[in-house]
Amino acid sequence: MARFLFCHPQNSPRPQGHAFTILEVLAAIAIATGVISLLVPTLLRQVSRAEESSRLMAVEAVVSRDLNWFANYATFWRLLVGTYDVPSDVTQTRNISGAAAFYVPTAANCARPADSLLNDALKITSTGFKPPYPINKASATSLQGSEIAGAAVVVSRTVTPIGNKIRLSYSSSINGFLFRREESILVEAAAWCDRLP
């Protein structure tokens, strides 16, 4: 007599390639959601740091360009003889060559050299040596830079002449990013004032 064996479906082994049950899918989704919720804040912080770094670099570029101009002009101003080739509206002579640089400031220049330098800087007409941004001694000046994340980089600069130095204060604020910097530049011609008779 033939015997037949019947296996209950629940007790039979799962064939390979069988689909996941709904509970397994829900468990996987829950785990993935938990991992993503942990990673998202970290990723957002990284993006925020990258944007802040880009803004800082853009602001620093604006400030560096401006500071370089003031530092160069403070060196060239009232230069009478030297190894430089600069136009006459920057110094007192058009062709400057020969020996090491020296200055011949006037008594009036020595009284307030930084103020005199800034007054002369306002009169520069040579395109090759004009300031990259306007000079305003009375109030803050806006310096424009490149655009970061759709917002223009704007740096506010205040110029204050103090004796033989120029004090430059910079500040910027973009979407909560704050930047402050202060620099002091010596007017080199002022160092020659004590040599006047």
Task: Establish if 4 belongs to a structural domain.
Answer: no
Which residues, 6 or more positions from 175, have their beta carbon under 8 angstroms from its beta carbon?
149, 151
Quote the pLDDT of residue 82.
55
Partners of 159 in the β-ladder: 168
Distance of CA 173 to the CA centre of its chain: 12
Q: Residue-wise pLDDT tens for the chain (197 aa)?
A: 555 454 555 555 555 656 778 888 888 888 888 888 777 777 767 666 667 778 888 888 899 999 999 998 887 777 665 555 556 666 655 444 544 555 566 676 677 888 888 988 888 877 777 888 999 888 899 988 877 766 778 899 999 999 889 999 999 887 777 889 999 998 887 776 665 55
Task: Establish if 150 belongs to a structural domain.
Answer: yes
The Cα–Cα gap between 146 and 144 comes to 7
Token pair 């390979």: residue: 16
Which residues, 6 or more positions from 108, have their beta carbon under 8 angstroms from its beta carbon?
116
> Containing domain of residue 100, as a range?
57-195
Q: DSSP states of 53-112 as a string?
A: HHHHHHHHHHHHHHHHHHHHHHHHTTEEESS----TTTSS-S---SSS-EE---HHHHHS
Task: Establish if 44 belongs to a structural domain.
Answer: no
Nearest-CA neighbor of 103 among 20, 10, 1, 196?
A: 196
Task: Establish if 133 belongs to a structural domain.
Answer: yes
Task: Establish if 84 belongs to a structural domain.
Answer: yes
Task: Establish if 40 belongs to a structural domain.
Answer: no
Quote the pLDDT of residue 64.
92
Quote the pLDDT of residue 194.
61
Check: pTM over 0.85? Answer yes or no.
no
CA angle 61, 76, 93 (to 5 degrees): 140
The Cα–Cα gap between 24 and 132 comes to 65
Quote the pLDDT of residue 98.
45
Q: What is the dihedral of CA 24, 25, 27, 33, to 10 degrees?
A: 160
Quote the pLDDT of residue 10.
57
Please give the tally of structural domains in the chain.
Answer: 1
Quote the pLDDT of residue 168.
95
For CA atoms 33, 35, 37, 39, give the dihedral sign: negative
Task: Establish if 77 belongs to a structural domain.
Answer: yes
Task: Establish if 29 belongs to a structural domain.
Answer: no
Q: Which two tokens stand for residue 63?
A: 């400030």
Q: What is the dihedral of CA 118, 157, 64, 171, to 10 degrees?
A: 160
Cβ distance 135 to 118 under 8 Å?
yes
